[in-house]
Amino acid sequence: MAITTVYQVSGMSCGHCESSVSSEISELAGVTSVKAVAATGEVTVTSEAALDEAAVRAAVDEAGYELVGPAA
């Protein structure tokens, strides 16, 4: 069963930002889709199993942005 998690990411301001974050998170094992929205700072990740938040944080850091945490 697919799991969808919404994360809050700070620092995204444009389509390029969305693309950078999406491509880094997409490389994590088990991730099937990523949709980043700069306007809200939300990144919706669908994966085959629960993701390790530290791995998601590392991917967001690699893209040059900050993972605030799971969206409320």
| Cα→Cα distances 3→6, 10, 34, 48, 50, Å | 10, 23, 12, 6, 6
Domain of 7: which CATH number? Answer: 3.30.70.100
Structural domain range at position 37:
3-70
Domain count, the chain: 1
CB of 47 within 8 A of CB of 30?
Answer: yes
Check whether 32 has a pLDDT greater than 80.
Answer: yes
Each residue's pLDDT tens digit, 36-55:
999 999 999 999 999 999 99
This prediction has a pTM of: 0.93
